[in-house]
Amino acid sequence: MLNQVEKVVLGTMDIEDENVIINALKNGYEIIDSAEEYQNEKIIGRAIKHYLNETHHERTDLIIATKISAHSVEKNQTKKVVYQALENLQLDYLDIVLLHHPSLNFEATIKAYQELLTLKKAGLIRTVGVSNFDKDMIKLLYAKTGCYPEINQIEFSPFNQRWDRI
């Protein structure tokens, strides 16, 4: 479980060049934030492998996060997406896995969350959380599973200011 994340995070949406990631890592970035929807996990995996081989840093020096799309949650593909991410990223475990957005089918969201918790118990995920969930959704997840998300990643930018979620 991560107690606190006080580092600069490299968001990888729209990154198509592994050199961008390698250079970011060489310049102090320690957290790579990816997502199934970005469709670039293979590029990220090659970049991480290159960086670790070139610099002799350890895998434990990095925090690798990915997110499961609501579409995959609705299609009951949570475990499949996690295993695919592990393969694409060339990793034995993921530090953080989040549900990217709440699904309109909240029962599917609860099931996906439970599957992530199972994968955490199996050692494939270190931290399970959500992204862009409202307080009531988090309370419902807890009521159904007995486990609060360890992270609620909230988009907050000049173009999207959700003060109700902060």
Burial bucket for residue 45 (CB in 10 Å: 0-12, 13-18, 19+): buried
Q: What is the pLDDT of residues 93-151, one digit of tens each?
A: 999 999 998 888 999 999 999 999 999 999 999 999 999 898 899 999 999 999 999 99
Q: Is the pLDDT of residue 1 over 70?
A: no
- Neighbour tally for 104: CB within 10 Å: 10
pLDDT of 6 over the 60 cut: no
Tell me if residue 29 is catalytic. no
Query: Domains in the chain and their CATH numbers?
Result: 9-157 (3.20.20.100)
Phi/psi at 152 (5° precision): -125, 95
Percent of the chain at pLDDT > 70 equals 91
- Catalytic position from the list 29, 38, 51, 93: 38
Q: What is the pLDDT of residues 70-102, one digit of tens each?
A: 999 999 999 999 999 999 999 999 999 999 988
